[in-house]
Structure 1
Amino acid sequence: MPQIDAGALRQLFDDARTHNAWLDQPVPEPLLHQLYDLMKWGPTSANCSPARIVFVQSQAAKARLAPCMSEGNRAKTLKAPVTAIVGMDMAFYDHLPELFPNNLDARSWFAGKPDVIASTAMRNASLQGGYLILAARALGLDCGPMSGFDAEAVNAAFFAGTEIQANFLCNLGYGDPVGLFPRNPRLSFEQACRIA
């Protein structure tokens, strides 16, 4: 399979930045469908696919989300055209007969095992959140992933009565470069990796 071109790599990684300021340009709903339809193909263990996403776009939904945000994240979240709440379904294993039909006993790997459920949901929903960021960048959107929020408040406001719990949030839209900080350094290969 040929490698994607250098321009695509720059769009996904080298030139991509975490955005904190947003242009007043809406994200059309069909683009959010396209975004999900790309990210869903990223691999998860046993194809468990625990991520559940709420795309917060309306003023009413933003008003529910605002009190859940930390002070430093509130204004930029209200300004962002969309905020994706990346949740994790703690009952994801109920879908395994559909999603992992090559082993119809896969549900039993998780049912009644809360520690296994929690670690699998967190690991794989986080992976899917990463795929969401890459898919968004591939579609020309900018991203601003965040941890600064009250998870219990988000769960109550958006996931009440479900088995879904918030993992992280990601603002989406068209970033305003005036809000960019200087790019922070990253660890070198030698600092972060070893070949065994």
Structure 2
Amino acid sequence: MALVLDSAAQDLLFREARTANTFTEEPVSDEQVQAIYDLVKYGPTAFNQSPLRVTLIRSDEARERLCGHMAEGNQPKTRTAPLVAVLSYHLDFHERLPELLPHAPHIKDAVFSEESVRESAGSLNATLQAAYFLIGVRAAGLAAGPMTGFDADGVNKEFFGDGRQRVLMVVNIGKPGPDAWFPRSPRLSYDDVVTVL
């Protein structure tokens, strides 16, 4: 095998992992979420920027506020998932760069002085972090149901009223329930994707 990760871990993280559409009632604890974050925070980003923000939706009131902005087909699973996370990026992530890059504090102003640059970098790097987060959920033995079917402007206004955070995706998290999976869709082959020059 060319991979160091054992076959069981490969299955857990990739081959057998699926996007869940139903969940059991087993709760997801704050300790589990912290363990997930404490693992995935080491994923690489440009300049070690950390624009991802995670808003956990636990209360019934917050869940109904969120469901009001979800696409109709995503509302039932969002209402019944043990935990819902709204993944967003913060436009002012650069303010934390001096502590994250103590050897290069000048990067904050040299690279990220313009908001348009921060928006582009924040979106890209938080999306990377969101992908690590999904893998971390799987590493915790849980299933994730990431969704982009929602009114982004509505979610931003509802949960991030100051306009400094922008939603990327909503993720339902928990143990998979009955009929949790849609049939596995095909993937492109190595030869379809990889070009050697």
Q: Deviations over 1:151-193 (max 9, x none)?
A: 1111112111251111111111011141311100001111122
Which residue of structure 2 lines up, in the alignment, with residue 38 of structure 1?
39
Which residue of structure 1 lines up, in the alignment, with residue 91 of structure 2?
90
User: Is the contact between residue 18 and residue 144 of structure 1 (CA under 8 Å) also seen in structure 2?
Assistant: yes
User: Is the contact between residue 88 and residue 169 of structure 2 (CA under 8 Å) also seen in structure 1?
Assistant: yes
Which residue of structure 2 lines up, in the alignment, with residue 54 of structure 1?
55
Which residue of structure 2 lines up, in the alignment, with residue 145 of structure 1?
146
Per-residue deviation at 1:140?
Answer: 0.5
Alignment of 1:29 with 2:34, yes or no, is: no
Per-residue deviation at 1:48?
Answer: 0.4
Alignment of 1:119 with 2:120, yes or no, is: yes
Q: Distance in 1 between matches of 2:191 and 2:116?
A: 34
Which residue of structure 1 lines up, in the alignment, with residue 16 of structure 2?
15
Unmatched runs of 5 consecutive residues or more in structure 1: none
Which residue of structure 2 lines up, in the alignment, with residue 182 of structure 1?
183
Q: Any idea what SS the aligned residue of 1:21 has?
A: coil
User: Is the contact between residue 58 and residue 84 of structure 2 (CA under 8 Å) also seen in structure 1?
Assistant: yes
Q: Distance in 2 between matches of 1:97 and 1:87?
A: 21
Which residue of structure 2 lines up, in the alignment, with residue 168 of structure 1?
169
The RMSD of aligned alpha carbons is 1.3
Q: Distance in 2 between matches of 1:193 and 1:115?
A: 32
Residues matched between the structures, number: 195
Compute the TM-score of the two structures, normalised by the length of structure 1.
Answer: 0.95
Q: Distance in 1 between matches of 2:69 and 2:100?
A: 33
Alignment of 1:77 with 2:82, yes or no, is: no
Q: Any idea what SS the aligned residue of 1:167 has?
A: strand
Q: Distance in 2 between matches of 1:85 and 1:38?
A: 19
Q: Distance in 2 between matches of 1:181 and 1:24?
A: 20
The code of the aligned residue for 1:48 comes to: Q
Q: Any idea what SS the aligned residue of 2:179 has?
A: helix
Per-residue deviation at 1:67?
Answer: 0.3
Q: Any idea what SS the aligned residue of 2:55 has?
A: strand
The code of the aligned residue for 2:10 comes to: L
Q: Distance in 2 between matches of 1:70 and 1:182?
A: 21
Q: Distance in 1 between matches of 2:73 and 2:83?
A: 17
**Correspondence list, 1:92-107, <5 A:** 92-107=93-108
Q: Distance in 2 between matches of 1:58 and 1:110?
A: 39
4+ residue segments displaced more than 2 Å: 109-112
Per-residue deviation at 1:113?
Answer: 1.7
Q: Distance in 2 between matches of 1:187 and 1:133?
A: 21
User: Is the contact between residue 19 and residue 180 of structure 1 (CA under 8 Å) also seen in structure 2?
Assistant: yes
The code of the aligned residue for 2:127 comes to: S
